[in-house]
Amino acid sequence: MTGAARASRSLRGRLFRRPLVALSGAAGRLARCGKHLDTAAIQTPFWLNPIWAGMHQLRREYWAHLGVSVGDGVRFSNHVKVVGPTRLVVDARAKILNKVLLDARGGIHIGADTQIGFESVVFTSSHVFESLEVAIRDQGMEHRPVHIGSDVWLGARVIVMAGVTIGDHAIVGAASVVTRDVPPGAIVAGNPAVLIRQREHYAQTEGARDP
């Protein structure tokens, strides 16, 4: 590493690591002020959005300080927003790309090696709307967890609705809306997302089961 590169790394460390050290205390203050981290909506701050080498490590520390369960090698891109960070679990080497919104109030588990494409949205909350006598906004919210398995690829601008489970090795096409469970190894797309085909290993396994 050249002297200039070392100086640049040192400068970035001084600029960005000091605020990160204070985040654990800030999280406590948020909770004491009534802004509980299991429902708070928090966006990546502007000073963590530059696309510099190593910034993903700082962003990982940032979300860990705010209560996200973060596995080794997880990469958060810029402009990510999380609602309820203490109810979000992201396993090792998963990638959350830029401008993703994760509503984790009902609980979200993202498996290892999974990729969440840019501008995707995962919901775990929805309005209650059964009564016609009460305005929808006054009927409260219901929460259902979302589980996204390991080695899953969600394309750009995918929407995942509350209560959905997406199996390991599944692929969801760009701009799809996932309203029901996706089997392991399935390739789905559309609004609502429907099965296109099974990936080869799973297709062979299903074929072997046929009489």
pLDDT tens-place string over residues 129-141: 999 999 999 999 9
Is the pLDDT score of 30 beyond 90?
A: no
Q: How confident is the model at residue 26, as a pLDDT?
A: 54
- Greater model confidence, 49 or 20: 49
The CB density around residue 184, as the number of other CB atoms within 10 Å, is: 19
For the segment 40-55, what is each residue's pLDDT rounded down to a tens digit? 888 888 888 887 777 8
Q: Which amino acids are annotated catalytic? A: 127
Mean pLDDT score, 88-111: 97
Q: What percent of the chain has pLDDT over 70?
A: 78
The CB density around residue 119, as the number of other CB atoms within 10 Å, is: 17
Reduced to 3 states (helix: H, G, I; strand: E, B; else coil), residue 103 is: strand
- Greater model confidence, 187 or 30: 187
Mean pLDDT score, 102-114: 97
Mean pLDDT score, 96-118: 97
| Long-range Cβ contacts of 58-65 (<8 Å, 24+ apart) | 58/16, 58/17, 58/20, 61/20, 61/23, 62/20, 62/23, 63/88, 65/20, 65/23, 65/24, 65/26, 65/27
Specify the residue for token string 């396994």: 205
Listed ranges 15-19, 57-61, 177-181, 204-208; the one with the highest mean pLDDT: 177-181
Q: What's the CA gap between 80 and 48, in Å, rounded?
A: 10
Residue 62 burial (C-beta neighbours within 10 Å; 0-12, 13-18, 19+): buried
For the segment 164-203, what is each residue's pLDDT rounded down to a tens digit? 999 999 999 999 999 999 999 999 999 999 999 999 877 6
Residue 66 vs residues 20, 45, 109, 174, 197: alpha-carbon distances, Å: 10, 13, 16, 30, 39
Q: Contact 122/146 with Cβ under 8 angstroms?
A: yes
Q: How confident is the model at residue 192, as a pLDDT?
A: 96
Closest by Cα among 131, 91, 86, 90 to 106: 86
Q: How confident is the model at residue 4, as a pLDDT?
A: 54
Q: What's the CA gap between 22 and 34, in Å, rounded?
A: 19
Q: How confident is the model at residue 10 (pLDDT cuts 50, 70, 90)?
A: low
Is the pLDDT score of 211 beyond 50?
A: no
The size of the chain, in residues, is: 211
